[in-house]
Amino acid sequence: MIKIREHLDEITGHGKYIDDVDLPNTVYLGVVRSQVARGKVLDISRSDNVLLFLDWDSVSTYMPVRPDPRTKNVVKMPIVSDGRVNFVGQPVVAFVVKDRYEVEDVTDEIGVDYAQETPILSVKDSMREEIKIHEKGNIAIDLDLSGGDLEQLVNSEVTVERELLQDRIVQHPMEPKGVISYYNGETLTVIGSFQSAFRVRADLQEALGVSPEKIVVQSPPNVGGGFGNKVPAYPEYVLTALASMKLRRPVKWIETRREHLTNPTQGRGVWSKVKLHAKRDGTILGLEGTIAVDLGAYAFTINTTTPAFIASLTNGPYKMRFAKLRALGVYTNKPPTGPYRGAGRPEAALITETLVEDLAETLGLSPLEVRKKNLLDGEFTTPLGVKIDKAAYREMFTRAEQVYHTLKERHKGKAISFIAFTEVVRASPGEGAKVRVGRGEVFIAVGSGPHGQAHRTTFALLAGEVLGIDPNEIKVEVNNTSLIKEGIGSFGSRSAAAGGSAVIEASRAVLQKIRERGLTVRQAINSDEVFEAETFTKTSDLYTPGIHMAVLDLDKETGFARVLEYYAIDDVGRAIIPSEVEGQIVGGVLQGASQVLLEYAPYDENGNPVYGSIADNGFPTAVEAVRRVISESFSTPSNTLSQARGVGEAGTTGALPAVFIALEKALHRKLSGTPYLPG
């Protein structure tokens, strides 16, 4: 039996996180942030109690962007204010002090005068462009995404339409962001709480103008959660690097929870108005409408790709004939948005599943019957060109019908939903791995960036299967740019499929070298020779389908709702470590349900956040969390070497529509978005 090596240190307090990393002569970065949502910076008073002061004149660089190539209006975020500010919390200036406890005092000493301007705070106001945030306007990207058999529009006999606003959410990993940078005159070493060391290196390379060979990026042994928030670089990472290059000392920045509340990136922020066209017998024809994403104040990391990504996923697990969608990304005076667990998948699922539910109601048909009639039964290319691989759609549905009827019997009189989805696993373009055997050890390096998942155990298990040795003998390192030539990172439910396949390919290559020398693996381990192979294994995107059901109870006096029971059925491919698969699904379900019932990031009319803590965001405690989640898996192998699919975002993708629709059933009315706030 394999021992899961990650979790014991974490739960016994022996983990090592970024703020546990101490280097000699470390100094500390502080950031003065904007107190207004939109305006000009008129004057900045300095402090004499600093080692270094970093304003626009001394920084003069912008955050890198990975835009959709069709973006027409890319406005990059300055590392510190270039004379303007566009959201509360935006870095205005930065400084370095000797003692971390001086940071707050110096922040108070530095004064900033602003000429405030009227902010734009909603997607609809931004689209009107009566006030333009940026010179070229508020619309960053505006796409007409049409495909499939558009002539089927004339065959539409029934139309249902939904307008939804999925409000913003603050991403809340247990550990906020943090980084320590040290430049020794030759190499810039950056250690931080990262999901992708290679993405951070690429961002720093671009922002600093330093060649990648002179930058080493790595994570400490533990990263306390991420949810997409820790994939790219942030202004503070660039500032610590710049400061260290000037001072030749390690510079540390640890994000406070208060900073985290208004820092990039926030999640969701999606407005949609979409029609579903169908025939009277329940046959779904296609979708037509508009999806607009609140990008926040700037194009940041990959946020301009989000509108088209959501639109591409609205097909769901159904055999649709056409799509005719407008996808926009617009600027507002709020923090930039970015991927948050699901990163477009849950948003698309909510849009589609509420429409399917409405169609069934309009036609007087069972929601199960409509979904079953249109469900995929094999490989499928959607009207927008997305290729969905084969999985156990029909088998899952048969099992889910049985579960649904059992739940109806067990929870008589309660609201019960039944939804279907398919989650894209971002396995492309692949992942890098190195396997080395000899001189007394077996060593693996992988480009993934675990932040709570059991990657080290998973990769050791896969390599152990190939090499025929105990996985507990294998040392695994991850998320370190100095160990392998090329890597990608962990996001989009990709690591078991992409990273696992890279480990298998590299292990097979090493095994071949050992056999060519006429040795056994044990002999190779104990030899003075080193057998090594490094690979970048290419993988394509996959799909993890699921059918989820939520049982919801509504307190009629208070209006508060709670999920009594949640049942998730997912096709996960090979479940390499079943307990980890279950944990990922359960965690995802909690976040999806929380978006419906609790979490959001409200702002007042001046663009000020009206929340000052996690509690104000509606962050759930153990009292509010879903107590009973049952996970059941099918195992249709993927076309990757690991045969895994990916489940990191499946729970969130399913729970958002499942809990939302169950809530509508309990209330006996339609809702206009998330979250639901009783009273």
Strands 380-381 and 387-388: antiparallel
Taking the CA atoms of 528, 458, 545 and 594 in sequence, report the sign of the dihedral they define.
Answer: negative
**What is the tens place of the pLDDT at every residue in 289-345?**
999 999 999 999 999 999 999 999 999 999 999 999 999 999 999 999 999 999 999
Question: How confident is the model at residue 464, as a pLDDT?
Answer: 97
In angstroms, rounded to a whole number, what is the distance separating the alpha carbons of residues 677 and 11? 34
**What is the tens place of the pLDDT at every residue in 554-568?**
998 888 999 999 999
Query: Which residue has tokens 């392998």?
Result: 484
What percentage of the chain has pLDDT greater than the value 70? Answer: 100
Question: How confident is the model at residue 623, as a pLDDT?
Answer: 85
Give the three-state DSSP class for 414.
coil
Task: Supply the pTM of this predicted model.
Answer: 0.96
Backbone angles phi, psi at 397, to 5 degrees: -65, -45
Query: Which residue has tokens 């902010």?
Result: 119
Which segments within 370-495 are labelled E, that is strand? 380-381, 387-388, 415-416, 419-425, 430-438, 441-446, 474-478
Instruction: Check whether 2 has a pLDDT greater than 80.
Output: no
- Those residues with Cβ within 8 angstroms of residue 4's Cβ, 6 or more apart along the chain or in another chain: 454, 457, 577, 579, 580
Q: Which CATH architecture has domain 266-426+541-674?
A: 2-Layer Sandwich (3.30)
**What is the tens place of the pLDDT at every residue in 334-375?**
999 999 999 999 999 999 999 999 999 999 999 999 999 999
> Which among 309, 420, 404 has a CA at the least distance from the CA of 357?
420
Instruction: Check whether 620 has a pLDDT greater than 90.
Output: no
Question: How confident is the model at residue 466, as a pLDDT?
Answer: 98
| Sheet of 441-446, strands arranged across | 474-478, 441-446, 430-438, 531-538
What number is the average pLDDT over the span 137-153? 97
Which segments within 171-210 are labelled E, that is strand? 178-183, 188-192
**What is the tens place of the pLDDT at every residue in 184-217?**
999 999 999 999 999 999 999 999 999 999 999 9
CA distances 630 to 139, 546, 596, 658, Å, are 43, 13, 19, 14
Per-position DSSP letters for 617-676, written without gaps between them: GT---TTTS---EEEEEE----SSTT-B---TTHHHHHHHHHHHHHHHHHHTS---EE--
Stretch(es) of the chain classified as CATH 3.30.365.10: 7-110+175-262, 266-426+541-674, 430-538
Q: Answer for the pair 353, 106: CB distance below 8 angstroms, yes or no.
A: no
Q: Is the peptide bond preceding residue 602 cis, with omega within 30 degrees of 0? A: no
Give the three-state DSSP class for 8.
helix
Taking all residues of the chain, what is their mean pLDDT, rounded to a whole number? Answer: 96
- Those residues with Cβ within 8 angstroms of residue 333's Cβ, 6 or more apart along the chain or in another chain: 37, 38, 86, 87, 119, 120, 121, 133, 297, 607
Strands 430-438 and 531-538: antiparallel
CATH number of 7-110+175-262: 3.30.365.10
Q: Is 415 exposed, middle or buried (0-12, 13-18, 19+ CB in 10 A)?
A: buried
Report the topology of domain 430-538: Aldehyde Oxidoreductase; domain 4 (3.30.365)
Strands 91-97 and 52-54: antiparallel
Q: Answer for the pair 397, 547: CB distance below 8 angstroms, yes or no.
A: yes
What number is the average pLDDT over the span 573-587? 94
What number is the average pLDDT over the span 137-151? 97
Instruction: Check whether 271 has a pLDDT greater than 90.
Output: yes
Question: How confident is the model at residue 311, as a pLDDT?
Answer: 98
**What is the tens place of the pLDDT at every residue in 456-492?**
999 999 999 999 999 999 999 999 999 999 999 999 9
Question: How confident is the model at residue 468, as a pLDDT?
Answer: 97
In angstroms, rounded to a whole number, what is the distance separating the alpha carbons of residues 4 and 454? 7
Instruction: Check whether 1 has a pLDDT greater than 80.
Output: no
